[in-house]
């Protein structure tokens, strides 16, 4: 099967299984083999000359010589993810943050400025604000969905706009067409973290976004058993990132790449189940008197519901909500849940629940958390593969306990 970005004639389920693959594999294997090698050998002088000639001509099919520069198993994942997102090329990393940081370092230098939206992943914000500033790169943060604020933040030295879709933890959904229009007007690159959406629910490149990143640790891997990241886009943009990655070494492991290929085959099935279960949970939570507010783009009450409905084929597997309880009461509510595990992360078979004030933001003061919009009573629930009815019944038991507390 040949499935290229300009010929997406197969459904997303079929592409998750076959997109970008080489039909003929080593040893007539049905599955792409794991190639656990750190280096590659040459047969003779002529083989070396062919290799160096291909490299000098920029031949993307040139054979490999060293593990830091690529691996057949990771290349198989890159081809599939590029095809799923509709990109020309993809680059696999050892983690989602490695994908984000290497991409930013590839396009920003001392004296440059970039803009990012609030409610973004905490570590991306910290890298942007605290690390890059040490090397003369400035940044500005603007509210999600505020096109006027974004325009006002752009300077003569602005190079890049960074956002997430949906955002973490309030699941805001920026209007990508509007974001891209602003960027193009000012000749800026756009980088969107689409981890929460996955290629099943949204493909930002189809809206004109330049580069998409994913934490493959989450839905793409899908089983809480690996770390990885990927950046996807046009070859002219991915190539310089690859050069930086070759230099800095955030190398993807071939065994993790194999697990990613395995996970990708069920991505559409998993995400659709999580979409359906999360919507049912959000609707249930919206009727609970002990819930202050539910944050889920599939609900009409969500501020970005119209944008989400226009851009996304599903609303994702994460639901955030606030309880009518304080910090301790919220923690005790989570203690009553029997199915989800209390831990950060998302996207795998097991449902995970997280009180951001105590886990993701434990190292900062209550005042600083409040300034970032992280409420003490905020809960982020990442649904796994369990039955929605079971998860809701489990929540109801915890609500019954909370109601008794008065």
pLDDT tens profile 25-71: 888 899 999 999 999 999 999 999 999 988 888 776 678 899 999 99
Residue ranges of alpha helices (H) inside 44-121 are 45-56, 72-85, 96-107
Same domain for 137 and 18? yes
CATH number, domain containing residue 218: 3.40.640.10
Q: Mean pLDDT throughout 305-312?
A: 98
Active-site pick, 25, 63, 68, 235? 68
Is 172 one of the catalytic residues?
Answer: no
Going by C-alpha positions, the residue among 176, 200, 201 that lies closest to residue 190 is 176
Going by C-alpha positions, the residue among 271, 386, 294 that lies closest to residue 339 is 386
Going by C-alpha positions, the residue among 343, 342, 340 that lies closest to residue 384 is 340
What pTM does this model have? 0.93
Is the model more confident about 391 or about 122? 391
Report how far residue 70's alpha carbon sits from residue 91's, in angstroms, rounded to the nearest whole number. Answer: 9
Report how far residue 169's alpha carbon sits from residue 369's, in angstroms, rounded to the nearest whole number. Answer: 13
Is 193 one of the catalytic residues?
Answer: yes
- 301 band by pLDDT with thresholds 50, 70 and 90: very high
Report how far residue 283's alpha carbon sits from residue 271's, in angstroms, rounded to the nearest whole number. Answer: 18
In the DSSP assignment, the letter for residue 317 is: S
Q: Which domain holds residue 286?
A: 267-404
What one-character-per-residue DSSP string does 246-258 give?
HHH--PPPHHHHH
Same domain for 342 and 239? no
Q: Mean pLDDT throughout 297-313?
A: 97
Residue 399: in which H helix or E strand, if any?
helix 388-404
- 23 band by pLDDT with thresholds 50, 70 and 90: confident
Is 326 one of the catalytic residues?
Answer: no
CATH number, domain containing residue 335: 3.90.1150.10
Same domain for 279 and 259? no
Domain-terminating residue out of 264, 294, 329: 264
Active-site pick, 112, 193, 210, 376? 193
Same domain for 286 and 250? no
Active-site pick, 121, 258, 295, 361? 121
Report how far residue 235's alpha carbon sits from residue 98's, in angstroms, rounded to the nearest whole number. Answer: 19
Same domain for 325 and 239? no
In a domain, 143, yes or no: yes
Report how far residue 145's alpha carbon sits from residue 164's, in angstroms, rounded to the nearest whole number. Answer: 11
Domain-terminating residue out of 233, 264, 295: 264
Active-site pick, 172, 218, 242, 270? 218
Same domain for 180 and 295? no
In a domain, 383, yes or no: yes
Is 79 one of the catalytic residues?
Answer: no
pLDDT tens profile 170-195: 999 999 999 999 999 999 999 999 99
In a domain, 41, yes or no: no
């Amino acid at each position: 099967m040949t499935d290229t970005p300009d010929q997406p004639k197969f459904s997303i389920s079929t592409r998750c299984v076959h997109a970008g693959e080489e039909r003929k594999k080593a040893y007539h294997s049905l599955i792409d083999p794991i190639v656990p090698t750190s280096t590659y050998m040459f047969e003779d002088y002529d083989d070396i000359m062919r290799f160096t000639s291909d490299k000098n001509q920029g031949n993307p099919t040139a054979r490999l010589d060293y593990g830091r520069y690529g691996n057949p198993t990771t290349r198989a994942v890159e081809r599939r993810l590029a095809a799923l997102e509709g990109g020309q090329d993809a680059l696999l990393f050892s983690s989602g943050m490695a994908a984000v940081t290497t991409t930013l370092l590839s396009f920003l230098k001392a004296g440059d400025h970039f803009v990012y939206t609030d409610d973004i992943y905490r570590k991306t914000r910290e890298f942007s604000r605290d690390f890059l500033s040490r090397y003369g790169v400035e940044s500005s943060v603007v509210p999600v969905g505020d096109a006027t604020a974004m325009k006002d933040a752009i300077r003569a030295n602005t190079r890049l706009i960074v956002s997430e879709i949906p955002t973490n933890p309030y699941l805001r959904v920026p209007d990508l067409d509007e974001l891209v229009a602003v960027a193009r007007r000012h000749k800026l690159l756009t980088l969107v973290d689409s981890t929460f959406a996955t290629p099943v629910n949204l493909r930002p490149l189809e809206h004109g976004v330049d580069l998409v990143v994913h934490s493959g640790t989450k839905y793409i891997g899908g089983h809480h058993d690996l770390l990885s990241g990927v950046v996807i886009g046009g070859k002219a943009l991915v190539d310089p990132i690859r050069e930086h990655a070759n230099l800095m070494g955030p190398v993807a492991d071939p065994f993790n790449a194999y697990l990613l290929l395995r996970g990708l085959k069920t991505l559409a099935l998993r995400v659709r189940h999580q979409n359906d279960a999360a919507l049912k949970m959000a609707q249930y939570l919206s009727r609970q008197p002990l819930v202050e507010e539910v944050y889920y783009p599939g609900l009409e009450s969500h501020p970005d519901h119209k944008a989400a409905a226009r851009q996304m084929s599903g609303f994702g597997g994460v639901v955030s909500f606030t309880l009518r309880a304080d910090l301790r009461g919220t923690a005790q509510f989570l203690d009553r849940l029997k199915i989800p595990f209390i831990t950060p992360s998302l996207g795998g078979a097991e449902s995970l629940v997280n009180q951001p004030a105590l886990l993701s933001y434990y190292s900062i003061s209550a005042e600083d958390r409040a300034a970032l919009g992280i409420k003490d009573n905020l809960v982020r629930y990442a649904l796994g593969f369990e039955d929605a009815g079971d998860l809701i019944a489990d929540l109801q038991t915890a609500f019954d306990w909370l109601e008794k507390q008065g």
